Amino acid sequence: MKRAGILKKLLLALAAILAVFVVLLFTLDLGFLKNTIEQQVRDATGRSFEIEGDLSIRLGNDLRISSGDMVLGNAAWASNTSMLEIANLSAVIDSRSIWKGPLLIRQLELDGIDLFLEKDDTGRANWVLGNDGANAQSDALSILLESLSLENANIEFNGPQLDQPIQASVGSLVQRLEPDGLLHARLSGTLSERNITFTGTAGPYARLISGTDFEIRGDGNLGDISINGFADFDNLWLPQRPQFELNVSGPELAEMTEMLGINGLGNGGLSFSASGKKENEQLITRLDGNFGEFQLDVTASVLSLQETSGASVNAQISGPNFGRVARLLDLKGWPEGRFDMNTQVRRPDNGLEIDAFELSLAGSEVRLSGVIPDFPRAGGSEISLLVSGDDLAPFREITGLPPLPKGAFSLEGEVSASGDGKTRIDLAYAMPLASGTHNGIVGEGESLVGSDLALIANGEDAAALGRLFEIDGLAAEPWS
């Protein structure tokens, strides 16, 4: 009996200790962990991180955090010493969601933000943190935000594709879960010193949490440019046939491009629409309209975003400056100047059928058609190519060719499957200083082992060819 009494007293004492511990845990301010948190952020991001103001952390059904004057350092190569500065932060987080997900932030208040985003010429981005930047971006998708209040935020972005940095200022951004079950958002601010406004809704909220069958709607203005649209998501994580519509209109393209830090795309009004709709058990996407002198008429169809077999694309695109558009896509070396492009492509099963690809650029024409039965492998392909133009000089940088005398050029050829299943190539070319043919079998793999090609070349002036390749002693006579 005495032993049972002693055990009972020990259990009661242990329960009392646990009760005191729980009370302390849910009432004690954990702000004293500031140094530990700072070090954890440094370890996770590989950057300097300081909380120069006070930090308060209180546990409960909701985790409550408030902090001031936080500074996250920038990448070593970046032009600014800090990437992110936050004067004041207050957050209320559903404690249970930390363990079971998605992370539910009931309330987030931010004031006084300076954010500097930058990419360098090699493609490095300062927002990729630590060794797990890609994972961090995917994890961010599992965060739900019920209420947001953001004021006095300044954002700057610079990169090699831009002619000048993008400067954005957010005077106020408010998001609330309203009684209608939708998240409502309102934004006001400036973009490159032009006023911007936006209002939108997302929900129903219960479906946002599940990531299925929810809708986003919004409209706003960028200066004098009007933007409105909606998107219906069947599944956020594995979208099948999401439906959407986007409309952009305004008096002048240059206003938009200046706000986005881009020059050289011309002038003119904007009247553009993009849509995605379910038709005959397919997702049909259409892009139609103009951005200034750029004209777009694109139709694409696909069974679903998870099943691309049977997809097709028909596109007619024209504009005043191909090289500037290419640089926006980080494709360097393409010539400036007007272009016209026409494409009809289909994707049956694992193959690729190019009914037509036609590009007119810098006084040159490219025409391509054919079938690649096991795309992207070239084996068994049947391809026809024709390239011609007035002068190769505009394409020197993209082709890597040395300086050539001015003059017309052409390249005509076919790729076909030989009788033994190998790939045959037949090319004929003509350009200043040389013309010739390449015929035969192309080997497999990167090393092209097994190739059997007959190469024939000739020209009118061996001395001119020698000067091009810095070879002395060749006579000014025909060569082959």
- Short-list 313, 315, 316, 242, CA closest to 283: 242
pLDDT tens by residue, the chain, 480 residues: 454 555 444 444 454 444 444 444 455 456 577 888 888 888 888 899 999 998 888 888 888 889 999 999 999 999 999 999 999 999 998 888 888 777 888 999 999 999 999 999 888 999 988 754 444 444 444 778 889 999 999 999 999 989 999 999 999 999 999 999 999 999 999 999 999 999 999 999 888 888 899 999 999 999 999 999 999 999 988 899 999 999 999 999 999 999 999 988 889 999 999 999 998 889 999 999 999 999 999 999 999 998 888 899 999 999 999 988 888 888 888 998 899 999 999 988 888 899 999 999 999 999 999 998 888 777 778 899 999 999 888 888 888 777 777 889 999 998 887 766 678 888 998 888 888 888 887 766 666 666 778 888 888 887 777 777 777 877 888 878
Q: Which tokens belong to 238?
A: 């594995």
Helix (H, G, I), strand (E, B) or coil at 160: coil
| The pLDDT value given to residue 283 | 94
- Short-list 278, 211, 294, 220, CA closest to 244: 278
HEC string for 69-137: EEEEECCCCCCCCEEEEEEEEEEEEEHHHHHHCCEEEEEEEEEEEEEEEEECCCCCECCCCCCCHHHHH
Taking the C-alpha atoms of residue 263 and residue 265, their distance in angstroms, rounded to an integer, is 6
| The pLDDT value given to residue 185 | 96
Cα-Cα-Cα-Cα torsion 25, 27, 28, 33, nearest 10 degrees, comes to: 70
| The pLDDT value given to residue 450 | 67
Q: Which tokens belong to 468?
A: 């091009």
Residues whose CB falls within 8 Å of the CB of residue 449, separated by 6 or more in sequence, listed in order:
443
Residue 406's region, left for phi above 0, alpha for psi from -120 to 50, else beta, is: beta
- Short-list 231, 328, 208, CA closest to 277: 231
CB–CB of 30/58 below 8 Å? Answer: yes
Helix (H, G, I), strand (E, B) or coil at 231: strand
